[in-house]
Amino acid sequence: MDVAVIGRDPRGTMDHLAAEREGQVAESIAPGVSERPLKIGLASAYDFASRGGVQTHIRELGQQLRAWGHDVRIVAPCSDVSKVDDDGFIPMGKPFPLPSRGSVGRISVSVWLRGKIKEMLDEERFDVIHMHEPFSSYVCVGMLSQSEAVNIATFHAYPGSRVYDVGGARIAQPYFEKLHGRIAVSQPAKEFISSHFESDYEIIPNGVRIDQYQKGVEPFPHLQDGMINLLFLGRADKRKGLKYLLLAYSKLKWDWPNLRLIVMGPGNPNGECQRIMGERSLQDVMFVGGVSDEDKFRYLKTADIYCSPATGGESFGMVLVEAMAAGLPVVASEIPGYMTVVRNGIEAMTFPPKDVGALVDALGKVLEDGDLKRRLAGNALRRAEEFRWERVARRVLDYYVSCMNGVGQSRDGASLLPTP
């Protein structure tokens, strides 16, 4: 659906959506799904002191569930507890880096945690344990193997962890059968995990806290200097495709000398990216590194266009949703995870992955056509509303209750029928 807006920041669309939410979202977050607050354990396979999509998903889901009165604990390996600002956080083991398909995950595989996990489960007495990527770390496996709660798992990966490539699926099968509910964040994620564990899966996407991208966010004044700000957000992983954006940027600069590329994310550019910048004299690329959430929102507010040229390995276009929530026109590669979020020419301009010429064309169209740019931004903002956490967490909570009703009762024997 096309949305007519005026200017770079589609305020008319924002105002319209705010009014629309008064009715639609208020209904979706009406209190009362179960007859009492639930005790929920959210378990992460990954280091909770590190920034990542799964960690953000768990943290923000927990915040929303707590806002509705539920008692939530987050259990995860952690390299530095001082970096975790969560009163309900339970550190479980120290992680170590494990390279996998162009990325690096920080997980714990220590089986010596089993006794500590059992003590924690006996003390907490969860109604629901919701594990994320349950077979990527011993923390989740240890909880699942000893759990007396209703066990639910969310599978984020695509194409997934190496554990499934070396017989891990066969080893994990007995633990998989202990799950009462199974969620995939997208159709590609469902197809991938189904190839290893055939079962029924509920597709529930990642969520976004839209208001924090829109309210009270100011751009960086020193970057409001007449330049066109093109933003890339992502870790310095090969699969994020930064080298293709650098190649496209070097071509676009001939026609758009006032174009500026801002690269935001932890890590340093790899040798290939450094070679491209040296050969093509791209000394003007701004690398701002990993930033706080507050500064991330400000860079998104400062940007004029957002581009994600990822080559694969993304189960869901969370970085696209963030840019869309900020009211930005998006240019993105046509990988399966991204195409579950956007449609070409409607919410984004898309191009085949690794195709530098097509990327140049897609960015050029947005740079040249102000009407297209505004239309993409307006449509993208409307689409981002579908991933608002109030909506997504409501679906997760409903799924908890459905699974608990299937099991029959809670830990204290109380019925868990939905409240009328």
* Domain boundaries, position 332: 211-385
| pLDDT above 80 (res 6) | no
Domain count for the chain: 2
Task: Write the pLDDT tens digit of every residue in 113-165.
Answer: 899 999 999 999 999 999 999 998 889 999 999 999 999 999 998 764 565 66
Residues 216 and 234 reside in one and the same domain: yes
CA–CA gap between residue 397 and residue 7 (Å, rounded):
38
CA–CA gap between residue 342 and residue 349 (Å, rounded):
9
Residues 170 and 257 reside in one and the same domain: no
Task: Write the pLDDT tens digit of every residue in 255-286.
Answer: 999 999 999 998 889 999 999 999 999 999 99
Confidence (pLDDT) at 52 = 83
Confidence (pLDDT) at 96 = 66
Instruction: Determine the average pLDDT of the residues in 406-419.
Output: 54
In a domain, 183, yes or no: yes
Residues 160 and 290 reside in one and the same domain: no
Instruction: Determine the average pLDDT of the residues in 204-230.
Output: 95
CA–CA gap between residue 321 and residue 387 (Å, rounded):
8
Residues 181 and 266 reside in one and the same domain: no
In a domain, 86, yes or no: yes
- More confident call, 29 vs 251: 251
Residues 177 and 215 reside in one and the same domain: no
pTM of the predicted structure, to 2 decimals: 0.83
Band (pLDDT 50/70/90 cuts) for residue 72 is very high
In a domain, 20, yes or no: no
Confidence (pLDDT) at 53 = 86
Residues 191 and 238 reside in one and the same domain: no
| pLDDT above 90 (res 22) | no
Confidence (pLDDT) at 376 = 98
- What's the mean pLDDT when you consider all of the chain? 87
- More confident call, 253 vs 20: 253
Confidence (pLDDT) at 420 = 30
Residue 87 identity (one-letter amino acid): D
Confidence (pLDDT) at 162 = 60
Which of the 8 DSSP states describes residue 113?
Answer: G
Residue 174 is part of a domain; what is its CATH number?
3.40.50.2000
In a domain, 201, yes or no: yes
Of the listed ranges 9-13, 247-251, 299-303, 305-309, the least confidently predicted one is: 9-13
Which backbone phi and psi does 361 adopt, to 5 degrees? -65, -45
Residues 135 and 283 reside in one and the same domain: no
Confidence (pLDDT) at 303 = 98
Task: Write the pLDDT tens digit of every residue in 155-208.
Answer: 998 764 565 665 678 889 999 999 999 999 999 999 999 999 999 999 999 999
DSSP-H helix ranges across 93-167? 114-124, 138-146
Residues 97 and 216 reside in one and the same domain: no
In a domain, 356, yes or no: yes
Band (pLDDT 50/70/90 cuts) for residue 109 is low
Confidence (pLDDT) at 328 = 98
In a domain, 418, yes or no: no
In a domain, 416, yes or no: no
Band (pLDDT 50/70/90 cuts) for residue 25 is very low
The closest alpha carbon to 61, from 73, 77, 51, belongs to 73
CA–CA gap between residue 72 and residue 61 (Å, rounded):
10
Task: Write the pLDDT tens digit of every residue in 291-321.
Answer: 999 999 999 999 999 999 999 988 999 999 9
Residues 147 and 45 reside in one and the same domain: yes
Check if the beta carbon of residue 127 is closer than 8 Å to that of residue 150: yes
| pLDDT above 60 (res 401) | yes
Confidence (pLDDT) at 12 = 45
H/E stretch holding 305 reads: strand 305-308
**Sheet of 181-184, strands arranged across:** 89-91, 71-76, 39-44, 128-132, 150-155, 181-184, 202-203
Residues 239 and 370 reside in one and the same domain: yes
Confidence (pLDDT) at 8 = 38
| pLDDT above 80 (res 346) | yes
In a domain, 30, yes or no: no
Residues 173 and 65 reside in one and the same domain: yes
Residues 311 and 337 reside in one and the same domain: yes
**Beta partners for 99?**
104
